[in-house]
Structure 1
Amino acid sequence: MSEPEPDLVRGGFELVGDVEPLWKALHQHHQLCLPGFAYHPDETSWNNRRDEYRRWLARPDSFVLVAYAGGAAVGYALVEVVDGPDDTWVTGDRVAVLQSLSIAESFRGRGLGTVLAERVEAELDARGVHDVMIDVVEGNTGAERFYERRGYRRVMSIYAKFSG
């Protein structure tokens, strides 16, 4: 007998506490993808990210989708909707930024990322938002392939010089 499909819940900041372990796992994954930098400890990273989530989710039309299985969060996608149009590319009056998408290791490769991405796109379509931007950490080739399969294209690279 197969496990039941996770339940998806859409909401705002009230759901953010449930995704802490998923953010920390993503933060650790980023460090594996791009070693050689000084990274915040998991707890500091989470506190900083949670504060960003609070700001992003305060914007109209922004939302988080959380997938639950057995009462625990096993995946999530957090979307901020910002004012457009973009200054470089032709976009609508609002642009979505997929700020985070993380899947619990035990649920990877089972289609949950696709389910979340499809639901994000449906939620955005319902809001009349048709332009989406996503940042992917350098070296995260799995995420790059995932988004490319969904029709996304690389449009920019970010260079950084950190003091740490």
Structure 2
Amino acid sequence: MGNESKLIISSLNNELIDDINMTNDFFELYGRVVPSLQSGRWSYKEVFFNKTRKTRFPDDKLDWSQYINQEDKALFLAYMNNTCIGQIRIIKDWNRFCYIESISTKKEYRGSGVGTLLLNKAEEWAKQRQLIGMSLETQDDNLGACRFYVKQGFSLGGVDTLKQSYNPNIETTLYWYKVFK
């Protein structure tokens, strides 16, 4: 039996706009990253919750035409058998980093390498623009995402304890960076 399924990554165009929020599935929050700064270097420990909970981000409602054929921003969608299973949304930031505004993979494809392929696509895009690395932010209670970014070569570069003050569930916003060699 041959492998019929082939993953395709497409740049956003008008025909694909309806697929953008298709990958916005629920995910599990099962632990927290507790950062600590010592002599100018960040480290952290993982603390597991007694009980996991599910959450999802609200669907983004942006002017998606702003991401089509632009030099300073892009949105890539991952497809398997014509079904959208992942996406990454990126911008060229003022600090010469490629800022990842959003990345998501459909629940049933998590752990299958789709997120890695999307990050690779973003890295390629960033290097074409002579950017120095990639950056993103997560909340401290999204341990799964933090572990994924560390596995992809990101390092904790900063912490903000006030950014999410309106949200009682989030203590800290974490800033992750991957500097290109």
TM-score by length of 1: 0.71
Query: What is the Cα-based RMSD across aligned positions, in Å?
Result: 3.1
The alpha carbon displacement at 1:134 in A equals 0.7
- Give the C-alpha shift of residue 103 in structure 1: 0.7
Equivalence for 2:45: none
- Displacement of 1:32 in angstroms is 7.5
Runs of 4+ residues deviating >4 angstroms: 30-34
**Contact residue 33 and residue 137 of structure 1 kept, 8 A:** no
Report the counterpart of residue 23 of structure 2 in structure 1: 22
> Is 2:89 the partner of 1:78?
yes
Q: Percent identity?
A: 19
Aligned residue pairs, count? 143
Task: Indicate which of 97, 104, 109 corresponds to 2:111.
Answer: 109
- In structure 2, the residue matched to 1:144 is 146
Show the counterpart of 1:57.
67
Larger C-alpha radius of gyration, 1 or 2?
2
2:157 aligned to which of 155, 158, 163: 155
Structure 1: gaps spanning 5 or more residues: 35-40, 85-93
Inter-partner Cα distance in structure 1 for 2:127 and 2:14: 21
Partners of 1:147 and 1:125 in 2: how far apart?
19
Residues 163 and 123 (structure 1), Cα distance of their counterparts in 2 relative to 1, 3 Å cut: closer
Query: More strand per residue: 1 or 2?
Result: 2
Structure 2 residue runs without a partner (length 5+)? 33-55, 169-181
Q: Which has the higher helix share?
A: 1
With over 3 angstroms needed to count, the CA separation of the structure-2 counterparts of 1:107 and 1:95, relative to structure 1, is same
